[in-house]
Amino acid sequence: MSNINMVIEERPANIGNFWVGRLLPFREKRTVGPFAFIDHMGPAKLSDHENFDVGPHPHIGLSTLTYLFEGAIMHRDSLGNEIEILPGQVNWMTSGKGIVHSERTPEHLRQSDKSLHGLQIWVALPKDLEQCEPSFAHIEGTGLPEWQENGLQYKLIAGEIMGHKSAVPVFSPLYLLEIKSDVAQTVQFNGALYGESGLYILEGGVETEGHTFGPKQLLVAKDATLCEFVIQANTTLYLFGGEPLAEPRYIYWNFVSSDAQLIEDAKKRWMNDEFPKIHGEHGRVPLPEINPNLTIKKQ
């Protein structure tokens, strides 16, 4: 990626009983376009007595995107949705004024050896939609455009770019694009990118401006319109970004908002057990004791 502004390394983070590699937010770069949070889950091998269990927890002011490379997760939420997400599918949950969900190893896999690998992403909502009614969409792989061009394999997971549009119902101009190549070659976008752009290397590597970058690194461009790089053979990467939101965002735990008071209200609602419930679920993740004044600044 030419004109690199920043290189971000994955940092370990514990999300309960599972460790992930955190990419965003970063202390010097809180957002890329509307993308406010990205975790790389795994790859992890879980034995017959180990399971992925993130109990009921709330969200406001954002949409969550889950995309798996391996494994399966059972999603349950306070709207009544209960669905198993598999590799190549997208779970897109919009919290709006408030939703609760859980993520667990499906029952049919809990007594067997298993693997889990994927991305979990938060996209901040535009200010006028932060208090919208919550919603949920599950998109099969057939709703994600795939094409080949100049020897590169593309899959558009979310958003709109290069004349293609994903079935994921996003709320602002953005893109999350998978790019694969079996051979080394130059990648150019000829002005197709817009807003801010980040490039996450899952496997393989890229070369730009005399430097080589590899897996678990996130490159952030100074100017998305000038994005160009050499992709190495047998590489898979994820290009994401879009138009930045006009206002800075505050973040506390699972809450994102342009209004700090909405976060304070959500904290009280969760502590007072006033969020909607998930039918058939048990337990709830407690509100953590962390700094409530961490601001996601406009960058």
**CA trace torsion 143, 173, 61, 103 (10° rounding):** 30
Please give the Cα distance from 198 to 250 (Å, whole number).
21
- Confidence (pLDDT) at 218: 86
DSSP type of residue 1: -
Q: How far is CA 240 from the centre of its chain?
A: 10
Indicate whether 196 belongs to any domain: yes
Please give the Cα distance from 281 to 269 (Å, whole number).
19
Exposed/middle/buried for 54, CB within 10 Å: 0-12, 13-18, 19+?
middle
Indicate whether 123 belongs to any domain: yes
- Confidence (pLDDT) at 296: 38
* Cβ-based neighbours of 127, under 8 Å, separated by 6 or more: 245, 246, 247, 258
> φ and ψ at 109, to 5 degrees?
-110, -5
Indicate whether 169 belongs to any domain: yes
- Confidence (pLDDT) at 148: 95
Mean pLDDT score across all residues of the chain: 88
Please give the Cα distance from 47 to 119 (Å, whole number).
21
- Confidence (pLDDT) at 190: 84
Rg (CA), the chain: 19
**Of residues 38 and 292, more confidently modeled:** 38
- Confidence (pLDDT) at 210: 85
State which residues form the domain around 61.
4-242
Indicate whether 57 belongs to any domain: yes
Asked whether the bond before 56 is cis by omega within 30 degrees of 0, the reply is no
- Confidence (pLDDT) at 7: 62
Indicate whether 252 belongs to any domain: no
Structure tokens at 294: 């961490």
Q: What is the mean pLDDT of residues 15-36?
A: 68
pLDDT in tens, 63-109: 999 999 999 999 999 999 999 999 999 999 999 999 999 999 999 99
- Confidence (pLDDT) at 187: 93
Closest CA to 91 of 110, 70, 75, 114: 75
Identify the bridge partners of residue 90 per DSSP, sorted by sequence position. 67, 139
Closest CA to 59 of 98, 94, 1: 98
How many domains does the chain divide into? 1
Closest CA to 257 of 98, 57, 86: 98
Closest CA to 147 of 170, 163, 159, 167: 163
Please give the Cα distance from 12 to 23 (Å, whole number).
9
pLDDT in tens, 140-195: 999 999 999 989 999 999 999 999 999 999 999 999 999 999 999 999 998 899 99
Structure tokens at 256: 């994102």
Structure tokens at 22: 């955190």
Q: Does residue 219 register a pLDDT over 80? A: yes
Q: What is the mean pLDDT of residues 216-241?
A: 87
Indicate whether 287 belongs to any domain: no
- Confidence (pLDDT) at 14: 62
Indicate whether 247 belongs to any domain: no
Percent of the chain topping pLDDT 90: 69
pLDDT in tens, 245-274: 999 899 999 999 999 999 999 999 999 999
- Confidence (pLDDT) at 259: 95
Q: Does residue 6 register a pLDDT over 70? A: no
Residue 295 pLDDT class (50, 70, 90 cuts): very low
Q: What is the mean pLDDT of residues 269-281?
A: 95
pLDDT in tens, 195-212: 998 899 999 999 988 889
Supply the CATH number for residue 53's domain: 2.60.120.10
Please give the Cα distance from 211 to 238 (Å, whole number).
19
**Of residues 74 and 223, more confidently modeled:** 74
* Cβ-based neighbours of 27, under 8 Å, separated by 6 or more: none
Indicate whether 136 belongs to any domain: yes
- Confidence (pLDDT) at 257: 95
- Confidence (pLDDT) at 211: 87
